[in-house]
Amino acid sequence: MNTRTLVIIIVVLAVALAGVVGAVVALGVAGGGDEVAAATSTTTEAPVTTTEAPVTTSVSTAAPATTTTTLDTDSVSEEELAEAIDEAVAETNAAVEELEAAVEQSTADGTVTEDEAVQVEVSLANSEELAAYAEQLALAYADVYGEYAGESLETLESIEEDLDTIAQNTTTITGILEQGSEAATAAATQLEEAASTAGASASAALEQAESWTTVLDQLRRQREQDALAVKPTEVPSDPAGAVAGTRSYFDAVKSALGDGRISSSELTGLTQASANAVAGLQAQGGQMAAFSAKLSDLTTQLARGELPQAKMTLPSLEGSMPSLEGSLPSPPAIGGKKK
Tens digits of residue pLDDT in 113-128: 999 999 999 999 999 9
Where is average pLDDT lowest: 25-34, 118-127, 142-151?
A: 25-34
Q: What is the pLDDT of residue 196?
A: 96
Q: What is the DSSP letter of 45?
A: S
Q: Compute the distance between CA of residue 282 and CA of residue 265 in angstroms, rounded to an integer.
A: 26
Decide if pLDDT at 110 tops 80: yes
Phi then psi for residue 278, to 5 deg, are -65, -45
Q: Greater confidence, 46 or 166?
A: 166
Contact 243/328 with Cβ under 8 angstroms?
A: yes
Q: Compute the distance between CA of residue 86 and CA of residue 84 in angstroms, rounded to an integer.
A: 5
Decide if pLDDT at 301 tops 90: yes
Mean pLDDT, residues 257-282 taken together: 94
Q: Compute the distance between CA of residue 130 and CA of residue 304 in angstroms, rounded to an integer.
A: 28
Nearest to 130 by CA among 167, 102, 158: 167
Nearest to 85 by CA among 161, 156, 168: 156
Phi then psi for residue 57, to 5 deg, are -110, 5
Q: Compute the distance between CA of residue 316 and CA of residue 309 in angstroms, rounded to an integer.
A: 11
Mean pLDDT, residues 194-214 taken together: 96
**CA–CA–CA angle 231, 292, 290 (5° rounding):** 135
Give me the CATH topology for the region 73-222.
de novo design (two linked rop proteins) (1.20.1440)
Contact 299/270 with Cβ under 8 angstroms?
A: yes
- At 92, the amino acid letter reads T
- Per-residue pLDDT tens over the stretch 147-201: 888 888 999 999 999 999 999 999 999 999 999 999 999 999 999 999 999 999 9
Where is average pLDDT lowest: 30-39, 198-207, 270-279?
A: 30-39
Decide if pLDDT at 275 tops 60: yes
Q: Note the helical H segments in the chain.
A: 3-41, 78-107, 114-149, 153-177, 181-186, 188-228, 239-256, 264-284, 286-303, 307-319, 321-326
Q: How confident is the model at residue 339 (pLDDT cuts 50, 70, 90)?
A: very low
Decide if pLDDT at 29 tops 80: no
Q: Locate the domains of the chain by residue range.
A: 73-222, 230-326
Q: Greater confidence, 54 or 166?
A: 166
Decide if pLDDT at 27 tops 80: no
- Per-residue pLDDT tens over the stretch 57-104: 233 333 344 445 577 878 899 999 999 999 999 999 999 999 999 999
Rounded to the nearest 10°, the torsion over CA 35, 37, 38, 42 is 140
The per-residue pLDDT of the chain, averaged, comes to 81
Q: What is the DSSP letter of 151?
A: G
Contact 213/86 with Cβ under 8 angstroms?
A: yes
Task: State if pTM tops 0.85.
Answer: no
Length of the chain: 339
CA quadruple 200, 205, 210, 212: dihedral sign: positive
**Rounded alpha-carbon distances, angstroms, from residue 118 to 59, 166, 167:** 7, 20, 19
Say what percent of the chain tops pLDDT 70: 76
Q: How confident is the model at residue 337 (pLDDT cuts 50, 70, 90)?
A: low
